[in-house]
Amino acid sequence: MTQNNQATTNPLANLKPIGEEPFLLTPGPLTTSMRTKEAMLRDWGSWDGDFKAVTADICRRLVDMCEGGDEYDCVPMQGSGSFSVEAALASFIPRDGKALVLMNGAYGQRAVKTLDYLGRSYVKLDKGDYLPAMPSEVAQILDNDADITHVVIVHCETSSGILNPLQAISDVVMAKGRKLIVDSMSAFGAVHLSVKDIPFECMVSSANKCIEGVPGFGFILAKKSALEAAKGNSHSLCLDVHDQWAAMKKTGQWRFTPPTHTVVAFLEALLQHEEAGGVPGRFARYDNNRQVLISGMRELGFETLLEDRWLSPIITTFFCPADTNFDFQTFYDEIKERGYIIYPGKLTVVDSFRVGCIGQLDADNMRGVLSAIKGACEKMGVSDCSPPPAALEQRKLQNQLAAE
């Protein structure tokens, strides 16, 4: 055994065969279809006409998905989803603008942190982990602060799984004459989102969420008028949405090296999305996954963080059992051993874990993870999966506050 044996171990040496790797019950990267993976076997010239046609087709399909017509355009952006969120915040909020950020979890917090880096002024409405911003609160903040130009909202807050009331918030923002920026990263493609109902200034999502592509780029759907007006706002060349848009319009190319394999796989994923019934089809499959998961978990004695009315078909957060035999790392490892990868919690106050419903998963896979979870609990000697009473008490209190 040498000192640096870690450096000489090949992490790829003992993998399971392709197609037998664990299912990812995570909010992305997620389990993709073989057809999507196989689309990555070709190499492409990023300047070549064939690749330019792929980019153009993707953009057209995404604009259609939000019913953007001639008024909206799509700008893909290299990097993970956060790169596109940062690009959008920097490009669409002018340097003398001011944002209201509606926060109820990690992604709202990240938006605020991004604005700090960018030096944009903002106010925040922070609702903690459990609750959405209420339209009346938003109206009041906008009434009291005429300087606010933009409202930033996370559609599905992936840290808790909460599905925020986007329509009602959008109605308030429009009535007050402000602009709406939506992080619909983990909802777009599975939850209906049309500019006919929600005339956002811009919306951000990425390749590796509900469209079920692989990671590597995000995309911004925005009003053409907003894209024109964004000129000169960005602090960053690489993340300048206006510049990426203008160059793409002119040449059909991405300004800098695109993740070619990812882009082509994404088109293949979009075709499958369409064949499976588009957004309603995807919603139906994820929603069924969620129902199978939640009813099975409740049978095992687990409790959801959220009350039923805020649960999304994207991901569900469960409280960790209070049983002292419960250990998250063992739980995780035992479930992985049985073929499924779940996700740790991302809450500030109580211990939790998350199980995703998105990706190439169906009800059988959800029953599979339920049986893996049951097996893991038996192995640990956890006989009671209920959370600490304090967690339930807090949930109840929060919801009473919301009802007032």
Contacting residues toward ligand PLP, per CB under 6 A: 27-28, 80-82, 85, 107, 154, 158, 183, 185-186, 206
Q: Which residues of 236-259 are buried (b: 16+ CB within 10 A; e: fewer)?
A: eeebbbbbbbbbbeeeeebbeebb
d(CA 241, CA 90): 9
The answer to whether the CB of 273 falls within 8 A of the CB of 207 is no
Give the nearest distance from C-beta 317 to ligand PLP in angstroms: 13
**DSSP letters along 352-382, please?**
EEEEE--SS--HHHHHHHHHHHHHHHHHHT-
Q: Choose between 25 and 185: whose C-beta lies nearer to ligand PLP.
A: 185
Strands 162-163 and 23-24: unpaired
Q: Measured between alpha carbons, how far is 169 from 191 in angstroms, rounded to an integer? A: 16
Closest residue to ligand PLP, Cβ-based? 81
* CB of 93 vs ligand PLP, minimal distance in Å: 17
Shortest distance (Å) from residue 82 CB to ligand PLP: 3
Residue 331, classified by CB atoms within 10 Å of its CB into exposed (0-12), middle (13-18) or buried (19+), is buried
78/394 with CB nearer ligand PLP: 78
Nearer to ligand PLP, 85 or 203 (CB): 85
Beta bridge partners of 102: 125, 153
Q: With respect to ligand PLP, which residue has the nearer C-beta, 36 or 206?
A: 206
CB nearer ligand PLP, residue 162 or residue 370: 162
Q: What is the DSSP string of 262-312?
A: HHHHHHHHHHHHHHTTHHHHHHHHHHHHHHHHHHHHHHHT--BSS-GGGB-
Considering the complex, what minimum distance in angstroms separates the CB of residue 145 from ligand PLP?
25
CB of residue 209 to ligand PLP, shortest distance in Å: 6
Nearer to ligand PLP by Cβ, of 87 and 376: the residue is: 87
- What does the block give as tokens for 223? 């009003």
CB of 38 to ligand PLP, least distance (A): 23
d(CA 204, CA 117): 19
Q: Tell me the closest approach of the beta carbon of residue 87 to ligand PLP, in angstroms.
A: 12
- Least distance (Å) between residue 31 CB and ligand PLP: 15
**Under 8 Å between Cβ of 358 and 27:** yes
Least distance to ligand PLP, CB of residue 404, Å: 28
Q: What is the CA radius of gyration of the chain?
A: 22
* Site of tokens 């171990």: 9
The smaller minimum CB distance to ligand PLP, of residues 269 and 391, is found at: 269
Cβ partners under 8 Å of residue 29, min gap 6: 208, 214, 215
